[in-house]
Structure 1
Amino acid sequence: MSEISIDIAKFLGLVLTLLGMFWGMSRRQQGMFEKHLDEKFAILQLRLEQIEKKEGDNGKEVARVERQLMELRADLPEKYLRREDYIRGQSVIESKLDALALKLENMQIREAKRD
């Protein structure tokens, strides 16, 4: 049987070398992972900024529409005539015309009696 003999110094050197390699590889993986996370967070930050910009634009648009709606509400009573109001106005005009026609008819009857 052949025995392999290694000095303790060489063994410790080998163990330390292997541990150093594992530590270096884990640090490299951690660095790559952090770089990947930083890239993802940068992309998310850009998207959030775009959303905030759109939100600001939407807020301005909503404010503009609300202002136009308030102007419409203010102008509506001046420009809009309800059907009932139109019918009431027409009824008043027609009753005045009927009264005028009745007066003319009465005048014509009086004139006819005089002759």
Structure 2
Amino acid sequence: MTFQLEPYQVFIILSTAIGAIVGMIKIMGNQINKNIQQNFESTNQKIEEVSRQAVKGQEEVRELERKFLEFKADMPFRYIARDDYIRGQTVIEAKLDAVAEKLEKVQIKQGIKP
């Protein structure tokens, strides 16, 4: 069994096959392009989210710095350094010793035994 095709029939079959192949390539190209666009969109969304988080992080760091500076400025008014406390106690004790010494002198002058 042999097929005999006229040249126009061969041309129609070849053009149909080529058209089908080109159509399939276009469909695949559109699907690939759509997939790439979706990937770009999700990547852009992630980049925007990271950018928002970075801005929020910077704001939080600035807030912490501000609070720390306020703490440093307020600290001398709320807390006493150990050396300052010891110096204050030494002055108070010296004054008490001086008062006790004066009392002893007064008692000695009046003849009262301490």
TM-score, structure 2 normalization? 0.86
Q: Deviations over 1:15-70 (max 9, x none)?
A: 22111111110101110111122122222222222222222222211111110111
Structure having greater relative contact order (Cα 8 Å, sep ≥ 6): 2
Q: Deviations over 1:67-95 (max 9, x none)?
A: 01111111112222112221221111111
Q: Which residue of the partner structure matches residue 11 of structure 2?
A: 12
1:65-80 matched pairs, under 5 angstroms? 65-80=64-79
Give the secondary-structure state (helix, strand or coil) at the position aligned to 2:111: helix
**Deviation, structure 1 residue 103:** 1.2
Mapped partners of 2:9, 2:24: distance in 1? 22
Q: Which residue of the partner structure matches residue 53 of structure 1?
A: 52
Identity %: 32
| Counterpart residue type for residue 111 of structure 1 | Q
| Counterpart residue type for residue 6 of structure 1 | L
Q: Which residue of the partner structure matches residue 36 of structure 1?
A: 35
Equivalences, count:
112
Unpaired runs of 5+ residues, structure 1, are none
RMSD in angstroms over aligned alpha carbons? 1.7
Q: Which residue of the partner structure matches residue 83 of structure 2?
A: 84
Does 1:25 find its partner at 2:9? no
Unpaired runs of 5+ residues, structure 2, are none
Mapped partners of 2:58, 2:67: distance in 1? 14
TM-score, structure 1 normalization? 0.85
